[in-house]
Amino acid sequence: MSEQRVRIDREADGRVAVVVLTRPEKHNALDRPMFDAIDGATREIRTLAEAGEISAVVLRGEGKSFCSGLDIAAIVGDGADFAGSAGALLQKDAGDIANLVQRVGYHWKAVPVPVIAALHGNVLGGGLQIALGADIRIAAPDAKLSIAEVRWGLIPDMGLTTALPKLIGIDHAKELTFTGRNVSGEDAARIGLVTRTAEDPAAEALALATEIAGKSPLAIVRAKALFDTVWEASDEQRLATEERLQREILDAIAAAAAAG
């Protein structure tokens, strides 16, 4: 990877890891290097947490936005084969229930310590799905959040269905998915899409992570495991369904393109 896409800082005497998306000129939009970098960051953070080196994680974006979603122009490149280019991101590693685009959101769940997402600016499409992988979301009141995939004729397929059912009602989930409309941080807090709002979400998230890091690591790790265990249904089935339905759309797009 020629350009850095993610940086990991350490705060609170090293007990808090701050994962920073670092493509600010593109509002941290998701190109292939960004997918790979976030995937790598989740693995590194999980290793640090399992070794007992960190007690909490903050996930934030550099610049004006947390993450504005998929960078379609970068994914497609000079070609016009959107279905083929997007489909290449849906590959799984052996033994993993999640494909690459799902891993950048879903694998935060595998981090044994609390993950807190600080949301500001645009939190759109894939950006929102990454944030939904966190345990806690703190948003700026004027942040713009959206399940935006329908704008490009797609469905959310980055692990959204493993998180959203525990947060908001199915009516809200369907409305936001069917319309792709933006909701503010304040509205997102009202319906439970985010935990709460703060004028400076990054500072608030770091303060909370520092507070958590001061508690018993044994208790915090097991508390997260407790809630994740009793709240979970079958994530494997949810992730597989996301992928199957998205592949059906991409196959249809490819067939239409081939037909001219």
Instruction: Pick the range with the lowest mean pLDDT from 26-35, 116-125, 229-238.
Output: 229-238
pLDDT per residue as tens digits for the range 83-141: 666 667 777 878 888 998 999 999 999 999 999 999 999 999 999 999 999 999 999 99
Q: In the beta sheet, which residues pair with residue 7?
A: 20
Strand pairing class (16-21; 6-11): antiparallel
Strand pairing class (16-21; 56-61): parallel
Average pLDDT over residues 227-254: 81
Average pLDDT over residues 196-212: 98
pLDDT reported for residue 253: 84
All domains of the chain in start order, with CATH: 6-200+217-259 (3.90.226.10)
Question: Is the four-CA dihedral 168, 172, 174, 179 of positive or negative sign?
Answer: negative
**Are 157 and 105 in contact, with CB atoms under 8 Å apart?**
no
pLDDT reported for residue 104: 95
Q: What share of the chain is helix, strand, coil (3-state, %, to 5)?
A: 50, 15, 30
Helices (H), the chain: 32-50, 72-76, 82-87, 100-106, 126-131, 160-163, 170-179, 185-191, 201-213, 217-231, 235-259
Secondary structure of residue 4 in the 3-state scheme: coil
Whether the pLDDT of residue 176 is over 90: the answer is: yes
pLDDT reported for residue 232: 65
Rounded to whole angstroms, what are the CA distances from 52 to 113, 114, 215, 218?
9, 13, 13, 10
pLDDT reported for residue 254: 87
pLDDT reported for residue 93: 79
Q: Which residues contact 89 (CB under 8 A, 6 or more apart)?
A: 32, 35, 75, 99, 100, 101
Instruction: Pick the range with the lowest mean pLDDT from 6-15, 73-82, 101-110, 236-245.
Output: 73-82
Whether the pLDDT of residue 230 is over 50: the answer is: yes
pLDDT reported for residue 2: 44
pLDDT reported for residue 68: 98
Q: What does the block give as tokens for 4?
A: 């850095």
pLDDT band, very low/low/confident/very high, at 81 (cuts 50, 70, 90):
low
pLDDT per residue as tens digits for the range 49-65: 999 999 999 999 999 99
Whether the pLDDT of residue 82 is over 70: the answer is: no
pLDDT band, very low/low/confident/very high, at 1 (cuts 50, 70, 90):
very low
Would you give the end-to-end CA distance of the chain in angstroms?
A: 35
d(CA 140, CA 66) in angstroms, rounded, equals 11
Average pLDDT over residues 199-212: 98
pLDDT reported for residue 245: 81
Average pLDDT, the chain: 91
**Are 16 and 56 in contact, with CB atoms under 8 Å apart?**
yes
pLDDT reported for residue 233: 58
